[in-house]
Each structure stands twice: as C-alpha cells, then as structure tokens.
C-alpha cells in the first residue's frame, strides 16, 4: 500500500512534466506520420 501511495505522490509531483512530455511525443508521432504519408504519396506519384 505504501508503494502505491509513493507512486501516486510521484505522479502528482511530476504530472505537469509528464503531460508536457506526452504532448510532445504525440505531436512528434503525428508529425512523423503526416510526413511519412506525404513521402509515400510522392513515391506513388
């Protein structure tokens, strides 16, 4: 139980940076996906 509480407190302390990191990762992933589909489109054309 104590471990779960520590983990919960750690998430609360780091939630802002974790959210920012998640946004950056998702943004990069979507950006790469878009560029990749453009590249495939150019290759097909």
Within a domain: 1: no
Q: Which domain holds residue 42?
A: 19-45
Judge contact between 18 and 11, C-beta under 8 A: yes
Distances 36 to 15, 17, 18, 22, 24 between C-alpha atoms, Å? 31, 28, 26, 21, 18
pLDDT of residue 1: 59
* Long-range pairs for 7-15: beta carbons < 8 A, 24 or more residues apart: none
Within a domain: 44: yes
Q: How far apart are the first and last CA of the chain?
A: 59
Within a domain: 3: no
pLDDT in tens, 11-26: 888 888 889 999 999 9
> If pLDDT is split at 50, 70 and 90, which confidence band does 2 have?
confident
Within a domain: 27: yes
Domain count, the chain: 1
């Amino acid at each position: 139980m104590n471990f779960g509480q520590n983990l919960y407190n750690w998430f609360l302390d780091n939630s802002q940076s974790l959210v920012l990191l998640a946004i950056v990762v998702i943004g990069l992933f979507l950006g790469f996906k878009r560029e990749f589909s453009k590249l495939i489109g150019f290759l097909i054309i």
